[in-house]
Structure 1
Amino acid sequence: MFQAAGAASPAPAHEAKNSSGGSTVQRSKSFSLKAQVKEICTACQKTVYPMERLVADKSVFHSSCFCCKHCHTKLSLGSYAALHGEFYCKPHFQQLFKSKGNYDEGFGRKQHKELWVHKEVESGTKSA
């Protein structure tokens, strides 16, 4: 009827007793009857279902939407390069960015060399 204060609490509903003994079997925690959160494709903004789901750099895509920004070739997880949230095939990534030797230059950002020159000018005037 009543349990002692130190007695174990009854088994939760998701645990089932094994018929051969007193041991318990726990069901997988990954299985849930709750509705799954709908994931949205980064490229097309439509729902991504588990069979067509592809995750690259923490972004979710349909496998058919994961394309090079430059040539729109379909990419795979082994054939892409990412820079500033944009995805490229490896040949175009090299053509667009590595040949210049400066990743920022391809995006119209201020080059780091300009910052170094500015610091050298400041330090040169202070020491003279």
Structure 2
Amino acid sequence: MDSCKEKSKLFLTFQALLSKLQIQENETCKLCQQRVYPMECLVADKQNFHKSCFRCHHCGSQLSLGNYASLHGKIYCKPHFKQLFKSKGNYDEGFGHKQHKELWNSKDKDQLSSISFIQLVYI
């Protein structure tokens, strides 16, 4: 009887060790969507990457955890991150996005046109 209990304890311990070693489904590379094994995994911005996939979005140079910057979910080398920022002077246009002030202006115009329409109705 004791040997049966010991075997079941040993089996449960072995199962617990195996579950710790197994890679979970969500441990895939953000860029290539392939499984990332612990020896080749980099974690940056709470995302998993293969070391070989961790490259600048602009120039493709391989990066490390000490020489990258990220914006809008894209990874850049620090020189290109600075260059893209300087090209337009802001984080939106330099990286191919609309400026926030343009979005605000369009919202303001929509609000003004609806206000003007309401004023016309009541006049």
Shorter-normalised TM range: 0.5 to 0.7
The yes-or-no answer on 1:33 pairing with 2:18 is yes
The yes-or-no answer on 1:97 pairing with 2:82 is no
The yes-or-no answer on 1:62 pairing with 2:47 is no
- Counterparts of 1:41 and 1:117 in 2: how far apart (Å)? 37
Secondary structure, counterpart of 2:70 in structure 1: strand
Q: CA deviation at 1:116?
A: 6.2
Choose between structure 1 and 2: higher strand proportion.
1
Q: Equivalent residues in 2 for 1:1-128 (5 A)?
A: 13=9, 32-34=17-19, 35-38=22-25, 39-114=27-102, 115=104
Are 2:56 and 2:76, in contact at CA under 8 Å, matched by a contact in 1?
A: yes
Superposed structure 1 runs of 4+ greater than 3 Å apart = 107-110, 116-119
For residues 98-117 of structure 1, the C-alpha deviation after alignment (integer angstroms, 9 at most, x for no partner) is: 44221111344332334369
Are 2:55 and 2:75, in contact at CA under 8 Å, matched by a contact in 1?
A: yes
Normalised by the length of structure 1, the TM-score is 0.61
- Counterparts of 1:37 and 1:117 in 2: how far apart (Å)? 44
- Mean Cα displacement is larger for which, 96-105 or 72-81? 96-105
Normalised by the length of structure 2, the TM-score is 0.63
Q: CA deviation at 1:42?
A: 1.1
Specify every segment of 5 or more residues in structure 1 that has no aligned partner in the other structure, as ranges: 1-12, 15-26, 123-128
For residues 17-55 of structure 1, the C-alpha deviation after alignment (integer angstroms, 9 at most, x for no partner) is: xxxxxxxxxx9xxx7222331421111221111111100
Are 2:87 and 2:94, in contact at CA under 8 Å, matched by a contact in 1?
A: no
Counterpart code for 1:37: Q
Counterpart code for 1:110: K
Question: What is the percentage of aligned positions where both structures have the same residue?
Answer: 61
